[in-house]
Amino acid sequence: MTFIERAKYVVAGVLTAAAMNCTTAGAAEKFNLSPDTSNRVRAEKDEAAIKAIAPGFKFVNSGKLTVAINPWDPPIATYATDAKTVVGADPDIAQLLADSLGLQLDLVPVAWEDWPLGVSSGKYDAVISNVTVTEERKEKFDFSTYRKDVLGFYVKAGSKITEIKEPKDVAGLKVITGAGTNQEKIILEWDRQNVAARLKPIEVQYYDDRAAADLALQSGRADVEFNPNATQAYNASINGTRKLVGIVSGGWPLTAEIAVTTKKGAGLADAVTLALNDLIKNGKYGEVLKHWSLTAEGIDQSKTNPAGLPKSGS
């Protein structure tokens, strides 16, 4: 994870901690944060995807798809109420892929810092943990995309603001974001462009306390919050006090994509990409995103090793 990614997820963690503390019961019911995963969306065996696995590829454990995952935050991945079972959108995608490849899922919780060595050394078949495609990572890993990496603009439910899609749409607004994050860089660049165009400047607000940020938005002291879409969508689904009015790529002005990550040249990526595209076509993929309120991050087609975010300084 890059520094920007790490900073972005720290903000997301603050958002989630408050949501979990305030609405654990409701969240568990709505998003099934119980350790019972019997209602996970399941898929049939995909013979075409299985045939696409390179002849020489050997899974870490015979008959199993061993997937590393970092349970960092709902709705992407978190621990269930038993503090052991990992649940969320990424675990559900992992299950669909295991089903498609005719394998049992072996989901292995790991620290974020541990997955690169684990995948490259052959300890895990793949990592499915909100990994963004970058050109630097492509030197060591293969990627099969499955979600957009997006940031969301959220306003209170009764706000007159209905759409934010470009810099002029936030001119003169009071915007909450995370200090030291990618979203802060984006909103400050938008502000620079607005000022250059003689539009009203943005008032950027920062809150360390989640409750204070929510109060600012609901009371009108802030107009909009601009932070990671996934966590904000999760919270909006739980409490219904805010609404999505726009999304921006996490790599703006470039497109950033999230992908299943496998060892470079191992021979699994094409099969995973094929399986994902079949899951998109048959609707199973969409069911998972809808369940976890991530429809806004859905893709129409999975790609193997698309252009990634450029290396720093390039």
pLDDT tens-digit profile of 92-129? 999 999 999 999 999 999 998 999 999 999 999 999 99
**What confidence score (pLDDT) does residue 29 get?**
44
Q: Which amino acid is at 294?
A: L
276 φ/ψ angles, rounded to the nearest 5 degrees: -60, -40
CB-CB neighbours of 151 under 10 Å: 26
Q: Are 52 and 101 in contact (CB under 8 A)?
A: no
Compute the average pLDDT of residues 141-164: 96
pTM to 2 decimals?
0.80
Q: How far is it, in rounded angstroms, from Cα 268 to Cα 273?
A: 9
26 φ/ψ angles, rounded to the nearest 5 degrees: -65, -40
Query: For the chain, what percentages of helix, strand and coil (3-state, to nearest 5) are there?
Result: 40, 20, 40
Q: Are 310 and 135 in contact (CB under 8 A)?
A: yes
Q: How far is CA 279 from CA 74, 105, 129, 273, in A?
A: 22, 17, 18, 10
Q: How far is CA 189 from CA 82, 172, 181, 182, in A?
A: 43, 14, 13, 11
User: What 3-state DSSP class applies to 103?
Assistant: coil
Q: How far is CA 167 from the centre of its chain?
A: 24
Domains of the chain by start residue, with CATH: 32-149+256-297 (3.40.190.10), 150-249 (3.40.190.10)
Tell the burial category of 162 from Cβ atoms under 10 Å away from its Cβ (0-12, 13-18, 19+).
exposed
**What confidence score (pLDDT) does residue 234 get?**
83
> Residue 181 pLDDT > 50, yes or no?
yes
Question: Chain-wide mean pLDDT for the chain?
Answer: 89
Q: Give per-residue pLDDT as tens, 63-101.
A: 999 999 999 778 999 999 999 999 999 999 999 999 999
Least confident of 104-113, 230-239, 256-265: 230-239
Q: How far is it, in rounded angstroms, from Cα 67 to Cα 124?
A: 6
**What confidence score (pLDDT) does residue 23 get?**
34
